[in-house]
Amino acid sequence: MNTNEVAERLGIAPRQLRQFLRSKESTYKAVGSGARYEFTERDVPELERRYRRWAVNGKSKPNGTKDRTAKPRTTTPRLTDDEKDRLVWIEEATERDAAGLGPVMLPDIRDPRVRRRVLADARAAEDRLEMMLMAKGLHVTQLGDRR
């Protein structure tokens, strides 16, 4: 008898029987290639007893599958962007204090001098990137069109 015939005799789906046969609780070994099982008439009562015990005691999950049992949901409060930023700054300050560094000081981007310096730094970085690309034999023509 094969798994389909035995499953029909037990009144279960063949898939459920195959899950049991692959579980640690089963002592039945597959024969041949493709994990086929062969049973005799004498095997059916013992197989049914073991399958029922396995089904009642809880089916163990095969390796690599997720446990789909319902878990209580814990809700974490939603933080606003300002609160998230504040937490990042606190963490950064703690790390800098531990390293013996001073506080992080950011220049005000609204200051025209700061804005000019930032734009000049960005252009210089872009020019360096373009030169590195050209040195590797790559050419991006659009970069030269900005001037």
pLDDT in tens, 89-132: 888 888 878 888 877 677 888 889 999 999 999 999 999 998 89
Contact 4, 42 (CB under 8 A): no
Q: How much is the pTM?
A: 0.39
pLDDT tens-digit profile of 38-76?
888 888 888 888 888 888 876 655 555 555 666 676 777
Task: Evaluate whether the domain defined by 3-57 bears CATH number 1.10.1660.
Answer: yes
CATH 1.10.1660 residue ranges for the chain: 3-57
Check the CA dihedral 63-69-74-80 and report its sign.
Answer: positive
Q: How far apart are the two ends of the chain, measured CA to CA in Å?
A: 82
pLDDT at 113: 92
